[in-house]
Structure 1
Amino acid sequence: MPIPSRAALIEHLVHTRIAGDVATPRENNLSHYRKLANGDRHYWLGLELGDRWSDEQDVLAVMAERCGVVDDPAHRQGQDTIDPELTVAALERMAARLRKAAVDRQSVLFATGHPGALLDVHRATAAALRAAGCEIVEIPEGLTADEAQVWQFADVAVLERGATLWHTHSPNPMAAILDGLEAAGRPRPDLVVADHGWAGCAAQRGLDAVGYADCNDPALFLAESEGTLQVAVPLDDHVRDPRYYHPMTAYLLAEAGLQLQP
């Protein structure tokens, strides 16, 4: 796959609505910000936020700064945005951490709560790091969480129920993996690359973690602002065709000095 220039990637992100005018409506974003501020742990994504973000307007300010949503509190419904410049800048920060993992040949764990969209992004990143000499962490067998199985598919941990890979924001599957590794006497990963509660749980437990997040998932951006999560990449995490993420993945790996594997 050709590696896009920065300008070409930004154009692609806007055209496919991975960034720019995204499909997530403003009222959904604000509802999630309010619920997080009101202490609904479903929206904390495995992080411990205490009462530090109890003001919805503080959450909105961080989301405007780090994700690019409209910063006007009076804008209550309709279109909302992700700034593609912020998306690419975060990809570049993530690439720097991946480059370090490759240079140091670190162990890396991949996981996704959005297998319908981001599975191949994680799979391709895992393959590139393995080719560079990294250990891709294999999760223990027999793990369960949220009445489902925690499996590894194409090097990426996922939640499986009824022969279906599940979309989940829960931190419990990542907790099951980390607890399982400890019970087996195995070391913790040097780096976790994930999204949703998988990334939040890993970061909360003190692991180096980077992840992807949508504009209605503020917790990871708050964690990045506090230094708990190393990088949160803002994007629409479920556009209609997962192939739309391929140029983004190619750019990420090139910036990390990694080779996209066949």
Structure 2
Amino acid sequence: MPIPGLPSDVPTRAALIKHLVRTRIAGDVATPRENNLSHYRRLANGDRHYWLGLELGNRWTDERDVLAVMAERCGVVPDPDHRSGQDTIDPELTVDALDRTSARLRKAAEDNQRVLFATGHPGGLLDVHRATATALRAAGCEIMTIPEGLATDEGMVFQFADVAMLERGATLWHTHSPDPMAAILDGLARDGRALPDLVVADHGWAGCAAQRGLDSIGYADCNDPALFVGESEGTMQVTVPLDDHVTSPRHYDPMTAYLLDAAGLL
């Protein structure tokens, strides 16, 4: 089915890789090396803000181990002596992760599963999630609605265009916190409703769902190592490496078209 906003021509793998590099969704990305290493160090030091809702215990106390995972699964520069300047996301790894995601979306469609979408990055990824939800609903999935009246210390949890987000002061709010997803899952349980079979999200929304034992797919930038660590441990189903807030959200449209086509949803 055609999805509003997506290109009619689905890119090939090679064409998508060129597009990801040109738009800096992958390749030489805007996130600087210093910021990446700082976040890897804070995760290793036990700062829960950087665990994105996952429980990592004392398994990742050496930032060099975190860097090794990020080099393997995201494509950052593996050299620990590279301390500043440019860092990278491997576009081949991005597309590999999209292919793994498409397989899980295909299963969701075949089994008419319940799917929950959420984002802590509404300025970048909202429409990626919205288009995916539209395609899955057309394929017979239940796109879950969240309970009303949910709130966290940061703001209200609400749903727009099938995607759960945080709202604060009439503004869609960027958050890494797992608390909004915890509020949703607790609210569903309180209301006696079934939990989702699959969560498609990012940041702490994805990490919290995975930690609670739900199938969770997350989009993550190269300065958000926790979801990649979670995938390496088998807690996350898939983590897709990309710059999660490039200059125009429309740059993600060819990627979304590729994903949905690979899942048999276009």
Compute the TM-score of the two structures, normalised by the length of structure 1.
Answer: 0.98
Letter of the 1:38 counterpart: N
| Distance (whole Å) between structure 2 residues aligned to residue 31 and residue 12 of structure 1 | 29
Number of aligned residue pairs: give it. 259
1:9 corresponds, among 13, 16, 31, to 16
Q: Residue by residue, what CA displacement relative to the aligned partner does 1:189-209 show, whole Å, maximum 9, x if unpaired?
A: 000000000000000000000
| Distance (whole Å) between structure 1 residues aligned to residue 183 and residue 37 of structure 2 | 31
| Distance (whole Å) between structure 2 residues aligned to residue 138 and residue 120 of structure 1 | 17
Match of 2:241 in 1: 234
| Distance (whole Å) between structure 2 residues aligned to residue 53 and residue 256 of structure 1 | 34
Match of 1:76 in 2: 83
Asked whether 1:151 is paired with 2:158, we answer yes
- Within a 5 Å distance, the mapping from 1:1-262 to structure 2 comes to 1=7, 2-259=9-266
Letter of the 2:73 counterpart: R
Q: Residue by residue, what CA displacement relative to the aligned partner does 1:77-125 show, whole Å, maximum 9, x if unpaired?
A: 0000000000000000000000000000000000000000000000000
Q: Indicate the SS of the match to 1:57.
A: helix
| Distance (whole Å) between structure 1 residues aligned to residue 30 and residue 89 of structure 2 | 10
Cα shift at 1:158 = 0.2
| Distance (whole Å) between structure 1 residues aligned to residue 155 and residue 173 of structure 2 | 9
Match of 2:4 in 1: none
Cα shift at 1:145 = 1.1
Asked whether the 8 Å contact 1:146–1:173 carries over to 2, the reply is no
Q: Indicate the SS of the match to 1:119.
A: helix
| Distance (whole Å) between structure 2 residues aligned to residue 145 and residue 130 of structure 1 | 28
Letter of the 2:186 counterpart: D
Asked whether the 8 Å contact 1:213–1:232 carries over to 2, the reply is yes
Asked whether the 8 Å contact 1:170–1:196 carries over to 2, the reply is yes
Q: Kindly tell me: are residues 102 and 46 of structure 1, through their superposed partners in 2, closer, same or farther at Cα, counting changes over 3 Å? A: same
| Distance (whole Å) between structure 2 residues aligned to residue 145 and residue 125 of structure 1 | 26
Structure 1 gap ranges (5+): none
| Distance (whole Å) between structure 1 residues aligned to residue 88 and residue 67 of structure 2 | 13
Q: Residue by residue, what CA displacement relative to the aligned partner does 1:156-191 show, whole Å, maximum 9, x if unpaired?
A: 000001110000000000000000000000000000
| Distance (whole Å) between structure 2 residues aligned to residue 206 and residue 248 of structure 1 | 28
| Distance (whole Å) between structure 1 residues aligned to residue 184 and residue 41 of structure 2 | 30
Instruction: Tell me the percent identity.
Output: 81
* Structure 1 runs (4+) greater than 2 angstroms displaced: none
| Distance (whole Å) between structure 2 residues aligned to residue 20 and residue 78 of structure 1 | 14
